[in-house]
Structure 1
Amino acid sequence: MSATDTSVSTAALTRRLSFLDRFLALWILLAMAAGLGLGHLVPGLDRALAALEVGGISLPIALGLLVMMYPVLAKVRYDRLDTVTRDRRLLVSSLVLNWLIGPAVMFALAWLFLPDLPEYRTGLIIVGLARCIAMVIIWNDLACGDREAAAVLVALNSVFQVLAFGALGWFYLDLLPGWLGLDTGGLDVSATQIALNVVVFLGIPLLAGYLTRRIGERRMGRDRYETVFLPRIGPWALYGLLFTVVLLFALQGGTITANPLDVVRVALPLLVYFVVMWFGSFVLGRAIGLPYDRTATLAFTAAGNNFELAIAVAIASFGVTSGQALAGVVGPLIEVPVLIGLVHVSLAWRRRLSRGAVDVRR
């Protein structure tokens, strides 16, 4: 494929993004600004939300969290989990990168960049444990990756998160710092509470998404389900995210305006994480002989994170005004522009590989 063909393909894929998805970073920024304004105009908002709490979490925010998780999980093709097992290189590499390397890299970066900010550090570690199940489909499509492989890896991550998130949270937030003699700043982390919140905020929408797909496909067929029903519910994931961001920043306004550099410090390790995970995964994919499309899929599924789940767990475990929750909210603001940039890097690599293939044939 020529460079011209690739650029045309990229433009076509970009046009397929909805208006909401194309400007996601802008909407998040506007939601942050709206939240800060709301917090200034309604000083008693925190007390009002506290009056609507059940089990330590605000019901309005819980609603926003569940709404933003459900559409993503309704998109997963759960009946295709077995197809990826035919490519053992891709399957094993993805599992190792997502559940061993990724959390370890984020743990190291969080302690390296935020040794004196335990709440933000814990929030980043939680982000590292939440593997991507949403926007990776978009980045993979834009980079001309293997769409079916991406869908299968997303489904695999969705199921694996229910089983592994709580245990990994206990390991990275409690057990490992103790082994290494790291000072956690007196921060008390309940692994049981984190596991319970994962079951609620991932388990409930996962079950709802699974049942929706099974029933929806049975009644309307897969093609109509994916071309008619999913586009209707898809935007609600973003609506739920933006609603949650507005409330978070309304409650975090005082902390943010008093310590704006804290947001920058949270952003830096996230930036390093995305770049390191993506390039490392891409190099690994090429080293084990994966074709370009599956290499791109491996890289984007390893580099992305499930910020919806991270935000949900942080809020439910530490509170809506916690530094952990703020760290989760900063995540998508950094992820969107960085991964869009990596899409262009991936396509440039694709053109280079295509030229190399032509040279070999000559």
Structure 2
Amino acid sequence: MSAPVGTPAGPVAGRLSFLDRFLAVWILIAMAAGLGLGRLVPGLGDALAKVTVTGVSLPIALGLLVMMYPVLAKVRWDRLDTVTRDRRLLLPSLVLNWIVGPALMFALAWLMLPDLPEYRTGLIVVGLARCIAMVIIWNDLACGDREAAAVLVALNSVFQVIAFAALGWFYLDVLPGWLGLERTALDVSVWEIARSVLIFLGIPLLAGFLTRRLGEKVGGRTWYETRVIPRIGPFALYGLLFTIVVLFALQGDAVTAKPLDVARIALPLLAYFALMWGGSMAVGRAVGLNHARATTLAFTAAGNNFELAIAVAIATFGATSGQALAGVVGPLIEVPVLIGLVYVALAARRYFPQPAATAAPEGPARV
């Protein structure tokens, strides 16, 4: 839909599509439409939730796959080696995602929800599930590094399979025991986590890789990037808006029936997103990353895999549990917050060294 990072920036309005130009408006409309449908159409939520994939509603699963595929089809896979050699990016990402993130959510949940153990446990589970899905589109909208995002998301997926259950045991059972706090058991299998990763990351990643590989083989890179990508690119936003509508329609009753509970859950989430994103952006600047890679570091550290967190909460504690509600509130808070942070990331370019000839575009015009 627009020039990738590295092309000279022209007039913004001339390059942004109508959908891109009013992206925040469409997302707010999608959220309101979903909540309205969930309240006005009897039985819609139950109908949407009847068929699931790894505990996630099938329409949401399809929306996620459609949303992620075009972005992954834009990745230049032959450039991944430049990312894997960048220790300034990889090491901070691993530390932020698997040490700082879970510890921060644990601390915020206990500080802000000491009297609500179910919601507190749900938020801790959310903090353990590092993002492998929606973060790809936030990164792309903020003009982050696509290749770096692909590598970091792949790393998160591997660590998620290996570490999720162990971290759940540590933060819900071992650490509270050491601190004299209430302990909780979390029963989740490695296969359940691996299956979620394979579906929500593996399928669109493989499809994106094959699309670029075959497209470049048939028509060459220039043809692929000027003819194919502009055709498939808009489906990322269509998939995002569809996912938001379905997600909010599914949870409309739960959200509107317990507004005070939702507000209590939202407070630690808002603090978490602000601290993780802002801190990660500052770390990226401090270690010498350029704006695109610092942006990728920030979004991959701040985002969470709510699909997995919700599935685990439902499987372990039940669909009507407070833990499940906390997981559900997560994306309802994440969507507006991270779309706001997209614009913050774009404005933050001025604080990063950047040659004038390779300035990034001034708006979220890359999807």
Tell me the TM-score normalised to structure 2 length.
0.76
Alignment pair present for 1:349 and 2:351: yes
Give the C-alpha shift of residue 213 in structure 1: 1.4
Alignment CA distance shift 1:55-1:336 (3 Å)? closer
**Partner residue of 1:6?**
none
Instruction: Give structure 2 stretches of 5+ with no counterpart.
Output: 1-7, 357-367
The C-alpha deviation readout for 1:308-361, integer Å capped at 9, x for no partner, is 9824324544458842133123212111113413432x244349xx9xxxxxxx
- Once the two structures are superposed, the pairs formed by residues 218-229 of structure 1 within 5 Å of their partners are 218-229=217-228
Give the C-alpha shift of residue 168 in structure 1: 3.2
The answer to whether the 8 A contact 2:76-2:147 is kept is yes
Alignment CA distance shift 1:331-1:281 (3 Å)? closer
Give the C-alpha shift of residue 205 in structure 1: 1.3
What amino acid is aligned across from residue 325 of structure 1 in structure 2?
Answer: V
The C-alpha deviation readout for 1:132-159, integer Å capped at 9, x for no partner, is 3332233246xxxxxxxx2331121132
The answer to whether the 8 A contact 1:274-1:338 is kept is no
The C-alpha deviation readout for 1:19-50, integer Å capped at 9, x for no partner, is 33443333232222212221223212244335
**Partner residue of 2:126?**
124
Q: Measure the CA separation in 2 of the matches of 1:191 and 1:175.
A: 15
**Partner residue of 2:171?**
176
Give the C-alpha shift of residue 236 in structure 1: 1.7
**Partner residue of 1:31?**
30
**Partner residue of 2:247?**
248
**Partner residue of 2:88?**
89
Alignment CA distance shift 1:123-1:41 (3 Å)? farther
Alignment CA distance shift 1:81-1:277 (3 Å)? same
SS of the equivalent of 1:194 reads helix
Alignment CA distance shift 1:59-1:274 (3 Å)? closer
Indicate the larger mover: 230-239 or 127-136: 127-136
**Partner residue of 2:147?**
152
Identity level (%): 49
**Partner residue of 2:362?**
none
Give the C-alpha shift of residue 84 in structure 1: 2.9
- Once the two structures are superposed, the pairs formed by residues 299-318 of structure 1 within 5 Å of their partners are 299-305=294-300, 310-318=305-313
Size of the alignment, in residue pairs? 333
Tell me the TM-score normalised to structure 1 length.
0.76
**Partner residue of 2:233?**
234
**Partner residue of 2:140?**
137
Q: Measure the CA separation in 1 of the matches of 2:299 and 2:225.
A: 23
> What's the C-alpha RMSD, in Å, of the aligned pairs?
3.5
Q: Measure the CA separation in 1 of the matches of 2:19 and 2:128.
A: 26
Alignment pair present for 1:333 and 2:328: no
**Partner residue of 2:68?**
69
Alignment CA distance shift 1:55-1:285 (3 Å)? closer
**Partner residue of 2:157?**
162
The answer to whether the 8 A contact 2:71-2:137 is kept is yes
The answer to whether the 8 A contact 2:70-2:236 is kept is yes
What amino acid is aligned across from residue 256 of structure 2 in structure 1?
Answer: T
The answer to whether the 8 A contact 1:99-1:129 is kept is no
Alignment CA distance shift 1:173-1:271 (3 Å)? same
Alignment pair present for 1:268 and 2:271: no
Q: Measure the CA separation in 1 of the matches of 2:163 and 2:13.
A: 36
The answer to whether the 8 A contact 1:74-1:208 is kept is yes
SS of the equivalent of 1:304 reads helix
The C-alpha deviation readout for 1:224-280, integer Å capped at 9, x for no partner, is 222322222222222222222222222212211122234434443343334333443
Alignment CA distance shift 1:200-1:57 (3 Å)? same
Q: Measure the CA separation in 2 of the matches of 1:219 and 1:52.
A: 38
